[in-house]
Amino acid sequence: MGQDIKVIVFKLGEEEYGIEVDKVQTIERILPITRVPKTFAFVKGVINLRGVVIPVIDLRGRFGLPEAEFTEQSRIIIVAAEELEVGFIVDSANDVIDLNTDIIDSPPEVVGGIKAKYLDGVARISEERLLIMLNLSEVLNRNEIIQLESLEG
């Protein structure tokens, strides 16, 4: 039997993605982002959230999807991974659902243009609705995080 997990659902374009709730600190509206030189293009810069400086990644850019303008719905999802807090910019984040791990299948090679290594799997919630589960440790690949950590100093 799989276990039930709570998942925050967010969107990039038409696709829905999930991150386990226990990895998510908060979800914020778009805050002023301070650019940081010499970083990957998908690293948008840093935000100051209640006195903590947090690097912010554009998930579209991270996945090689076309960038989009921020809208009223745009959100920054603050996640904690391996002692590091990072913000993900997403098109919207509007749902928390319960999922049973049994319905998560291993990801195909590419889903919605995103390489499988960034994904934990795909959950089929209903006939029409697929949820792409993120593999946070790959999205926040160590080597790239090391660069982010140097931003915080």
Sequence-distant (6+) residues with CB within 8 A of 26 are 49, 78
* Of 122, 13, 11, nearest in space to 65 by CA: 13
Terminal CA-to-CA distance of the chain, rounded, Å?
A: 45
What is the Cα–Cα distance from 129 to 94, expressed in whole angstroms?
15
Beta carbons of 121 and 28 less than 8 angstroms apart: no
Number of domains in the chain: 1
What is the Cα–Cα distance from 133 to 123, expressed in whole angstroms?
7
Q: Domain range for residue 99?
A: 4-152
pLDDT digits (tens, 9 = 90+) for 62-90: 888 888 899 999 999 999 877 788 999 99
Given pLDDT bands bounded at 50, 70 and 90, which one contains residue 61?
Answer: confident
CATH number at residue 82: 2.40.50.180
Quick one: what percent of the chain has pLDDT higher than 90?
47
Beta carbons of 25 and 80 less than 8 angstroms apart: yes
